[in-house]
Amino acid sequence: MGQTQGSTDADREVTLEDIQELYRKFASECPSGNLHLHEFKKIFGISSSSTEEESAYMENVFRSFDTNEDGKIDFMEYVAAVHLVLRGRLEDKLKWSFKVYDRDGNGCLDRKEVKHIIKIINKIKKHNDPGATENVNDICDRIFQLVDKNKDSKISLEEFIEGAEKDPWLLDQLKLDIGPCEWFIEQQEKKT
């Protein structure tokens, strides 16, 4: 956190001691040095009662942190993920968001990829806010109008970052915001 942008996790600064404690927790709960998908989902409050969309969203997030694609997050991948999510700069978070969106890994986003993740996020938001009514196609069209500067029906990483940094609505749509801070604070309170 430590940044004014996107400081939504209870507006609480996560200290170095907090992060060190999180690392110790990883080591004690994952002595094998690996965090598996079901454990990762548990950290973020995704359970068997969660929606299919929430589960799919967290699977995309897990995949983005599993940099060596071995189906588990080792300690170094975990450290990088924790640092990014809790302390990362806006640009780094946008690069990570782009990676989650870019399901085929070709370095650009097409409408299908953007619609897929927007659909998941939109369903999660509606789950949390039943009054949300924005249409996935409308959101996708607006994103492409604002971001696809060369009108090639693809969004490059540069277009993605530039667009998100200039437009607050776009930033809200494009920056993936997962909230482990609340889980972490809850875990800290259980210890005392």
| Model confidence pLDDT, tens digit, residues 120-143 | 777 766 655 555 556 888 889 999
Whole domain around residue 95: which residue ranges? 16-191
Q: Answer whether residue 3 is part of any domain.
A: no
pLDDT attached to residue 175: 66
Q: Answer whether residue 138 is part of any domain.
A: yes
pLDDT at 178 over 90: no
Q: Answer whether residue 60 is part of any domain.
A: yes
User: Is residue 4 very low, low, confident or very high in pLDDT (cuts 50, 70, 90)?
Assistant: very low
Q: Answer whether residue 164 is part of any domain.
A: yes
pLDDT at 116 over 50: yes
pLDDT attached to residue 186: 53
H/E segment holding residue 127 = helix 111-128
155: DSSP letter: E
User: Which residues on adjacent β-strands are paired with residue 73?
Assistant: 35
**What's CA 143's distance to the chain center, in Å?**
18
Q: Answer whether residue 157 is part of any domain.
A: yes
To the nearest 10 degrees (0 to 180), the angle between helices 75-87 and 90-101 is 120
Q: Where are the beta strands (DSSP E) in the chain?
A: 34-35, 73-74, 108-109, 155-156
Q: Answer whether residue 8 is part of any domain.
A: no
pLDDT attached to residue 13: 63
| CATH number of residue 161's parent domain | 1.10.238.10
pLDDT attached to residue 71: 93
To the nearest 10 degrees (0 to 180), the angle between helices 180-191 and 16-29 is 80
Number of domains in the chain: 1
Stronger pLDDT, 151 or 176, i.e. the higher one: 151
Question: How much helix, strand and coil, in percent to the nearest 5, is found in the chain?
Answer: 60, 5, 35
Q: Answer whether residue 4 is part of any domain.
A: no
Contact 5, 38 (CB under 8 A): no
Report the candidate in 134, 173, 88 with the shortest Cα–Cα distance to residue 160: 173
Q: Tens digits of per-residue pLDDT, 42-76?
A: 777 777 777 777 787 788 888 888 989 899 998 88
Q: Answer whether residue 5 is part of any domain.
A: no
User: Is residue 85 very low, low, confident or very high in pLDDT (cuts 50, 70, 90)?
Assistant: confident
pLDDT attached to residue 15: 74
- Average the pLDDT over 139-157 and give the result: 93
pLDDT at 163 over 70: yes
